[in-house]
Amino acid sequence: MNPLIPQERHHPDEGPGDGTLAVRAGLPEPVKHEPTLPGPVFAAHFHLPGEPTGPYTYGRDENPTWTHLERAIGTLEAPGETGVETVVFASGMAAISAVLLSQLSAGDAVVLPTDGYQALPLLHEQLRAYGIEVRTAPTGGDAQLNVLDGARLLWIETPSNPGLDVCDIRRLVAAAHAGGALVAVDNTLATPLGQRPLELGADFSVASDTKGMTGHGDVLLGHVSCRDPLRAAEVRRWRKIVGAIPGPMEAWLAHRSLATLQLRVDRQCATALELARVLAERPDVTGLRHPGLPEDPSHAIAARQMRRFGSVISFELADRARAERFLEELRLVDDATSFGGVRSSAERRGRWGGDAVAEGFVRFSVGAEDPEDLIADVLRALDTARDAVG
């Protein structure tokens, strides 16, 4: 598939296309008079006479609604494979924490990105408190290779949030595995339709499904997918210990939302690239980043490993005042955190602290609005902010 044309048709001999996979993933075998996607199962316990065997015993361990969702996500993470296991969590941070804390012990070393999600430094503190060595390096230039020697786990976030740098997953995986390290990839920004870390050799594919996977800004969820059943069991055991389980309603809403994943992602990615091209012509916009732009520093690597370039754009305006006025003037864009939703959102990322960004740095998440309307709104807001603030 040409990443610049995500809606390009596939040949049936290649297997089901992304839209077909998204619509059908995780559905049970049809039963007469039953819904195609069964409703959420609300149960703290299940009938369990005799010995405690079988798939469903207690609500903290398993739930049929999770099972359908986990199978669906596994289908999207590795189409055509039967050995991939997925574990869903109450949030993306719960999924991230489960991998790190189930795979690392005192005396181990972990390599994390310096430019990753802003909650990662909170994990740094906790990992160090457990006697784990934390090493950091930027995503760009595959810089994590420089601090990999002797590490137990390499954590990759590509594209990075919010700076949108990209690293070569295959290269980092090869080096990590050669040194005996596991590799986890935070795939939140790309989604499995944009990038499949397991196919690129990673041991774990992790995501906050709060973002693009569910896409409506109304569900907190995360997941971990991996091929190794022992690793999956360790992650699942951690979920049981800490109780970081999703509610059945959230899991059902997430599964329902997956059916439109390809429709949403194609629209959002195409509009994001179109908007990025327009912003590239603006003298008042600097530091523009989007992996789909041929002139972007990450484009060459992204084009080799990504199937779609994502719905997020980052750029800088002159200062804090200009950025805040720009956000105030937008009519079709919510001033909100998070990304990947059907409604466009944007924020001045520096307001949170924790990210090494300029005061005028804007992270823009493109939604499913008509491209012409969205672009017109952005250009009008930029003009107004420029004329008002100077």
User: 193-229 pLDDT, tens per residue?
Assistant: 999 999 999 999 999 999 999 999 999 999 999 999 9
Residue carrying structure tokens 């823009």: 364
**Cα–Cα nearest to 188, from 250, 113, 239, 132:** 113
- Read off the pTM: 0.94
* Per-residue pLDDT, 11: 63
The answer on pLDDT for 2 being more than 70 is no
Angle between helices 248-258 and 64-77 (to 10 degrees): 30
Reported as type and span, the H/E element at residue 156 is: strand 153-157
**Cα–Cα nearest to 273, from 302, 247, 308:** 308
Reported as type and span, the H/E element at residue 278 is: helix 261-279
The answer on pLDDT for 1 being more than 50 is no
In this prediction, residue 146 has a pLDDT band, given cuts at 50, 70 and 90, of very high
> Rounded CA gap, 309 and 16, in Å?
21
Residue 277 burial (C-beta neighbours within 10 Å; 0-12, 13-18, 19+): middle
Task: For residues 116-138, give the mean pLDDT.
Answer: 94
User: 9-37 pLDDT, tens per residue?
Assistant: 566 667 899 999 999 999 999 999 999 99
> Rounded CA gap, 291 and 312, in Å?
9
* Per-residue pLDDT, 355: 77
* Per-residue pLDDT, 10: 61
Active site (catalytic) residues:
60, 117, 186, 211
Averaged pLDDT of the chain = 95
Task: For residues 180-204, give the mean pLDDT.
Answer: 98
Residue 143 sits at the vertex; the CA angle it makes with 319 and 297, to the nearest 5 degrees, is: 50
More confident residue, 58 or 7: 58
> Rounded CA gap, 315 and 277, in Å?
12
For the chain, the C-alpha Rg in angstroms (whole number) is 21
The answer on pLDDT for 277 being more than 60 is yes
In this prediction, residue 4 has a pLDDT band, given cuts at 50, 70 and 90, of very low
User: 63-75 pLDDT, tens per residue?
Assistant: 999 999 999 999 9
* Per-residue pLDDT, 24: 96
The answer on pLDDT for 7 being more than 50 is no
In this prediction, residue 321 has a pLDDT band, given cuts at 50, 70 and 90, of very high
* Per-residue pLDDT, 6: 45
Is the distance from CB of 271 to CB of 371 less than 8 angstroms?
yes
**Main-chain phi, psi angles of 84, to 5 degrees:** -80, 130
* Per-residue pLDDT, 54: 85
> Rounded CA gap, 181 and 371, in Å?
43
Is the distance from CB of 134 to CB of 160 less than 8 angstroms?
no
The answer on pLDDT for 5 being more than 50 is no
User: 231-259 pLDDT, tens per residue?
Assistant: 999 999 999 999 999 999 999 999 999 99
User: 84-124 pLDDT, tens per residue?
Assistant: 999 999 999 999 999 999 999 999 999 999 999 988 999 99
